[in-house]
C-alpha cells in the first residue's frame, strides 16, 4: 500500500503560487484603499470649499453699498476682504443735510419694520448715501453717526413714521437720490493667511483696512489648503457698480492637498444694494 502526501517540489510550487496570489490581492486592495483615501480627501476638500463659498456669498449679499474693501500682500502671503452688513434700511422724509444740523432723522416704513430694524446688541451706525468706503469706515466722515434710539412710532394713515434720535447734532454730506438710509452692523473680514481662510468679526471700524497682522485676532477657521497666494493669483477682486450692472465680488480659491492635483473655485457674487 503506497503512502499519500506532497513531495518537496509540490510544496514549494504551492508556496510560490500562494505568494504570487497574496501579493496580487494585496496590491489590488492597496490600490483600492489609496483610491478610497484620495476620494475621501477630495470630498472633504470640496465640502469645506462649498461651505466657505456659500457662507461668504450669503453674507456679501447683505453688504452695505460701497462698504467692500480688498487688500492683497504678496510679501505677507495675505489677502483680506472686508465689508459691513446692514441690519436695517428704509426711506426717510427729512434728514439734516449740509449745512443744516440736527439730531433727528424722520423715517418711514411698514408698521413694526422700523423698530425691529434696530434690534442690535451693539450701538449701530446710520449712513446716508455712502458712495465711498470712507463713508463707512472713517469715523469723522459726515456720513457716519451713532444711533441712540427711536422716539415713539406714530401711525400716519397707512404709513408708519418714526423719529430717529442721533447721538449728537449732525450734518450728512448729501441727500440720497432715493432718500434711503442704512443702519450698519459690525464689519466682517475674510482673510487668507498661511493657506487658511478665516472669518473675523466684532473688531470695530478702522480707517485703514485691518488684517491679521494688525487688528484682527481669533478668526474662525473656514477652510484650509489654499495655495493660490503663493502663485501670485488674486483671491479676491472687486468691480464697482457701473450704469449697466451691479457691483461684483469675484473669489478665486485654489485648493490642494497635493500640488499635482488642485481644485479651483471661481465664484462671483453680485452686490444688489445701491446707495
User: Does 20 reside within a domain?
Assistant: no
Domain presence at residue 23: no
Q: Clarify whether residues 139 and 203 are in a common domain.
A: no
- Going by their DSSP bridges, the two strands 154-156 and 86-94 should be labelled as unpaired
Distances (CA, A) of 141 to 87, 130, 131, 137, 184: 20, 10, 12, 8, 15
53 and 177, same domain (yes or no)? no
With a cut of 80, say whether residue 149 has pLDDT above it: no
Same domain, 74 and 201: yes
- For residues 233 and 174, state if they share a domain: no
Same-domain status, 162 and 102? yes
Mean pLDDT of 43-56: 83
The answer to whether residue 52 is domain-embedded is yes
The residue that leads in pLDDT, 110 or 93, is: 93
Looking at the structure, tell me whether residues 96 and 220 fall in a common domain: no
Instruction: Kindly state the percentage of the chain with pLDDT values over 70.
Output: 79
Task: Name the residue with higher pLDDT: 38 or 103.
Answer: 103
Least confident of 11-25, 125-139, 164-178, 183-197: 11-25
- Non-local (6+) Cβ contacts of 115 within 8 A are 150, 153, 162
pLDDT over 80 (residue 261): no
Last residue of a domain, one of 126, 152, 184: 184
CB atoms within 10 A of CB 183: 20
- Is 25 part of any domain? no
17 within domain boundaries: no
Question: Domain boundary residue among 158, 184, 210?
Answer: 184
State residue 49's pLDDT score. Answer: 81
Query: Considering the domain boundaries, does residue 36 fall inside one?
Result: no
pLDDT in tens, 106-140: 888 655 555 555 554 456 788 898 888 888 888 66
Range of the domain at 134: 86-184
Please check the confidence at residue 1 and state whether its pLDDT lies above 60. no
The percentage of residues in the chain with a pLDDT greater than 90, rounded to a whole number, is: 18
Least confident interval from 114-123, 214-223, 230-239 = 114-123
- The mean pLDDT value for 161-187 works out to 86
Are 73 and 128 in a shared domain? no
Same domain, 68 and 191: yes
Considering the chain, what is the average pLDDT of its residues?
80
Whether residue 105 is predicted with pLDDT greater than 60 in this model: the reply is: yes
Which of 127, 152, 184 marks a domain boundary? 184
- What is the SS3 assignment for 155? strand
How far is residue 194's CA from residue 227's CA, in Å, rounded to a whole number?
9
237 shares a domain with 212 = yes
Higher pLDDT, 229 or 156: 229
Per the structure, the count of domains in the chain is 2
> What would the mean pLDDT of 183-208 be, rounded to a whole number?
90
Q: Are 170 and 230 part of one and the same domain?
A: no
Q: Give me the pLDDT at residue 41, please.
A: 72
- Among residues 182, 185, 183, which one has the least CA distance to residue 204? 185
Return the sign of the alpha-carbon dihedral for residues 194, 199, 204, 209. positive
Same-domain status, 215 and 162: no
Q: Is the pLDDT of residue 70 over 90?
A: yes
For residue 12, tell me if it sits in a domain: no
Q: Are residues 76 and 205 in the same domain?
A: yes
Q: Is residue 1 in a domain?
A: no
Amino acid at each position: 500500500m503506497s503512502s499519500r502526501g506532497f513531495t518537496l517540489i509540490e510544496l514549494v510550487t504551492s508556496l510560490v503560487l500562494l505568494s504570487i496570489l497574496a501579493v496580487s490581492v494585496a496590491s489590488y486592495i492597496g490600490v483600492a484603499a489609496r483610491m478610497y483615501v484620495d476620494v475621501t480627501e477630495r470630498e472633504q476638500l470640496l465640502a469645506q470649499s462649498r461651505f466657505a463659498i456659500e457662507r461668504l456669498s450669503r453674507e456679501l449679499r447683505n453688504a452695505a453699498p460701497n462698504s467692500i474693501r480688498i487688500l492683497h500682500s504678496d510679501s505677507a502671503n495675505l489677502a483680506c476682504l472686508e465689508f459691513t452688513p446692514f441690519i436695517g434700511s428704509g426711506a426717510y422724509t427729512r434728514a439734516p443735510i449740509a449745512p443744516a444740523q440736527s439730531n433727528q432723522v424722520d423715517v418711514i416704513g411698514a408698521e413694526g419694520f422700523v423698530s425691529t430694524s434696530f434690534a442690535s446688541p451693539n450701538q449701530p451706525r446710520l449712513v446716508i448715501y455712502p458712495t465711498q468706503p470712507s463713508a463707512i469706515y472713517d469715523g469723522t466722515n459726515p456720513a457716519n453717526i451713532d444711533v441712540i434710539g427711536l422716539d415713539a412710532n406714530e401711525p400716519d394713515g397707512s404709513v408708519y413714521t418714526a423719529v430717529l434720535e442721533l447721538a449728537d447734532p449732525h450734518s450728512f454730506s448729501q441727500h440720497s437720490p432715493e432718500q434711503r438710509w442704512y443702519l450698519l452692523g459690525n464689519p466682517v473680514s475674510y482673510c487668507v493667511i498661511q493657506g487658511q481662510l478665516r472669518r473675523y468679526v466684532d473688531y470695530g471700524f478702522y480707517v485703514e483696512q485691518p488684517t491679521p497682522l494688525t487688528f484682527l485676532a481669533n478668526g474662525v477657521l473656514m477652510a484650509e489648503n489654499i495655495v493660490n497666494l503663493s502663485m501670485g493669483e488674486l483671491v479676491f477682486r472687486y468691480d464697482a457698480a457701473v450704469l449697466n450692472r451691479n457691483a461684483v465680488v469675484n473669489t478665486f480659491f485654489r485648493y490642494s492637498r497635493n500640488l499635482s492635483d488642485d481644485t479651483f473655485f471661481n465664484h462671483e457674487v453680485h452686490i444688489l444694494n445701491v446707495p
